[in-house]
Chains A and B, each alone.
Chain A
């Protein structure tokens, strides 16, 4: 009897702290004991700890099986232009856009390669973003600085990031030039420093505009001052990038097709005969001649499982050019995105897409494959989340844009893997190309841009509906600047 009582008492005292532990939320002595007891050192665990003490996690978690089993074949592969390099800048969206347009120009001119000037577009992009920011400051002049809207815009007045429609907007307004007419500079290839200076300048400008407003100045006067601010930034950019050309002479080497047709006798010679052409363009005339009105035909399709499918969404202030509309996208299940991707590729049209490149990505071999790193096996811990959870809990969103230029399908036409053209130079990936497995497409691809002619009438009709407006801190609105 007494023994039972003692035992009960003991049990009571053992349980008491346990109950307490669950109550106070602290890491207390009991919990520390429990944690230590939960980890039993074994020889194999110690070996893992030794390996981790001396090596990169990724090297240890690599799934060699996936690495070995890859093959380089794609049954549909588009002809493309050369691999470009965005270097130390966040201009992927622009480079991916150029990878869609450059093949069109290359084909039209029948030349070896064509590269457009990203510096030219980046120059105007920076002025447009600055203008938009200062307009936001004027628009929100009565909001306190601690308001969530002000916090959103002030956290990064200027950033390199962008989106397909930024690219389209810039080209429609400012045209485009070949890289020779406005080449890369030290500052356009490594933008960190001028970005922080630009942000300092724009924040100082914002402070001044709000001060003017407080002092009773009218919106019209703020706008006048804003113009001077933009002019200062123009000078700053001209020093860093050089001034954008008003017109330029474009010389290129092309096959002499007329000679080949007319002179049959000199057949062997005419095959290799090339002629050099010279023409003068303005950036806009160059755009009109080679791209004309193809751009407005493209629409954005997204897979965001946290929001309703078959609905149109629009991010508040998701544009970069003040007078352009905000960006809209149709939310569709991922299978639909794949269908349209395939339709586009089979029609020889490359696809611009945005994804979270930070996940399951092996840069050495250019692989985008789910579980290429088996962290769960290395640590005996589960790291799984669904695509919706990753979005809700801010673990993943679009961080990079690239172009899909090929696909490998099964005999029944099911995609197995996709060929991706990146803009990180030829030293990364497989000489600049990546292989994206179909499961990676499911998990980490969020948006594609396709020509609307491939859409079913039902899906196309959705673009006429009134979009659901997303606040500027929504993952999808914010992602535009993170690219």
Chain B
């Protein structure tokens, strides 16, 4: 009897402790004791502690099963026009977009490799971004300095980030040049310092415009002052990138009469094959960036649209964000469709031999050494016996990752019934990373971490095309979905 009495008391004391702990918002002594006791049970395997305290976690968590079952075959595979390298800059969107264009031009010239100048377009991208920023400052000139709008505008206004449409706008307005006409410089491949300096300058300009306005100056006067400010930004860009060419001579090998190279002859170098036949014929012509664009770029990209998988917003609806790179162009928009639709249309493009530009969260499930993107390449849950799972919807809702990188899909490997197993991806991180610059994207990674694809609207079903015609729904400039690609 007495025993029972004691144990009841003990139980009561214990549960009182537990209750008080549950009521407590802070980490108190009871909770710490509990934590330690609970952990002692879990820490039976000391080898895990030793491993985790001494090694990189990716090495410990890698799922060897995926690596050993991995193969490199694709039943649809387009030719790359050469792996490019964005180096220490955030220009992925421009590289990915231009890689699509490069392929078109290479095909037209019947060349294996072709590269458009990224610094030429970056030059104008930065001028346009500076203008757009100052225009936005003028647009929001009545907002207080600590408003949410100002906080967003002031976040990295001269950043490297962008979208497919930013690139398209630039190409249409300024044309293109081959890389030889405007090569990379130290500052264009490593943009940190110049970005910092230009950000200082632009923020100073913003403060100047705002104090002009406070002094009663008209918008017209602010705009005039803005023009003078842009001259400074232009100067800064010329110092760092050199002047963009007004015209240039482009000389290239004439291969128009020759047969297209097939896969088998890839090992023969161009020189040996021409040695045996006839002398190499070169074509040389003077172009402006605009005339080069007119002659070499197929204009079907003007029909391209942005499809997004934004799982926290209703599907079958177009969205518009308060961001753009030119005041005369519409803001960024995207048609929201389930990921299965994005895949379906990507497949159609590929089977028509068209590469597909896409945006994703590259920070997850990336096995850099072999170039594998797989949703379960790292088993952190097994390593730590903790569940780290979040659905795609939750990840977007809770700011756990959206698009921060753009690349190009060049191929697909399907089962016999046409279900995709993995996708071939061309990256812009040079040929030393991944599998010589290429990645294998497993289908589950496409589901989880791909958020945008850019493709010709003629591949869309009539129903989906119909949604494009409807008025888009406006989202605020601080909407999280765009944050990563904008480099905010």
Which A residues form the contact surface with B (CB < 8 A)?
Answer: 21-27, 31, 34-36, 38-39, 41, 45, 48-49, 52-58, 127-128, 131, 135, 145-146, 148, 151, 154-155, 185-187, 190, 193-194, 196-197, 199-201, 203-204, 206-207, 220, 223-224, 227, 230-232, 234-236, 238-243, 246, 321-323, 358, 375, 378-381, 383-385, 389-390, 392-395, 471, 473-474
Contacts and interface: CB of A to CB of B under 8 A. Distances in A.
Given A48-B239, A235-B42, A185 B54 contact: yes
Given A22-B223, A196-B363, A243-B43, A394 B390 contact: no
Given A58-B193, A151-B480, 16 more contacts: A22-B224, A23-B220, A34-B231, A35-B231, A41-B243, A48-B239, A57-B193, A131-B26, A190-B56, A203-B395, A204-B388, A227-B31, A239-B52, A239-B383, A390-B203, A394-B154
A482 to B, nearest CB: 13
A148 B242 contact: no
A322 B25 contact: yes
B38 A235 contact: yes
B386 A236 contact: yes
B204 interface: yes
Given A199-B400, A235-B38, A385-B203, A379 B52 contact: no
Contacts of A187: 52-53, 57
A305 B127 CA distance: 32
A39 to B, nearest CB: 5
Interface string B44-61: 000011001111111000
Interface in B364-420: 380, 383-390, 394-395, 397-400
Nearest to A148: B148
B39 A206 contact: no
The A interface is mostly helix, strand or loop, or mixed, namely helix
Nearest to A37: B231
B249 interface: no
B25 A35 contact: no
B235 A200 contact: no
Interface stretch (B194-202, B274-282, B314-322, B349-357): B194-202
B398 A52 contact: no
A375 B128 CA distance: 23
B199 A322 contact: no
A239 B204 contact: no
8 contacts: A25-B135, A26-B328, A49-B240, A57-B194, A145-B398, A193-B56, A197-B388, A204-B387
Nearest to A26: B328
A383 B200 contact: yes
Given A207-B397, A223-B25, A240 B52 contact: yes
Contacts of A231: 34-35, 38-39
B201 A381 contact: yes
Contacts of B42: 235, 238
B57 A207 contact: no
A184 to B, nearest CB: 9
Interface in B130-179: 131, 135, 138, 145-146, 148, 151, 154-155
Contacts of B4: none
Nearest to B478: A151
A277 to B, nearest CB: 29
Q: B interface, how many residues as a size bin?
A: 35 or more
A239 B207 contact: no
Nearest to A145: B397
A241 B53 contact: yes
B384 A223 contact: no
Contacts of A196: 363
B203 A389 contact: yes
B297 to A, nearest CB: 21
A379 to B, nearest CB: 5
Contacts of B25: 135, 223, 322-323
Nearest to A237: B39
B242 A49 contact: yes
A35 B397 contact: no
B200 A385 contact: yes
A57 B31 CA distance: 53
Contacts of B284: none
B327 A25 contact: yes
Contact of A393 (B27, B35, B43, B206): B206
A231 B386 CA distance: 11
A322 B236 contact: no
B444 interface: no
B135 to A, nearest CB: 5
3 nearest A-B pairs in the assembled complex, by CB-CB distance: A185-B53, A53-B185, A393-B203
Contact of A395 (B145, B194, B203): B203
Contact of A25 (B138, B204, B239, B476): B138
Contacts of A242: 49, 53
A277 B395 CA distance: 54
A186 B399 CA distance: 27
A322 B207 contact: no
A49 B204 CA distance: 24
Contact of A131 (B27, B239, B476): B27
Contacts of A55: 186
A389 B328 contact: no
Nearest to B139: A25
Contacts of B480: 151
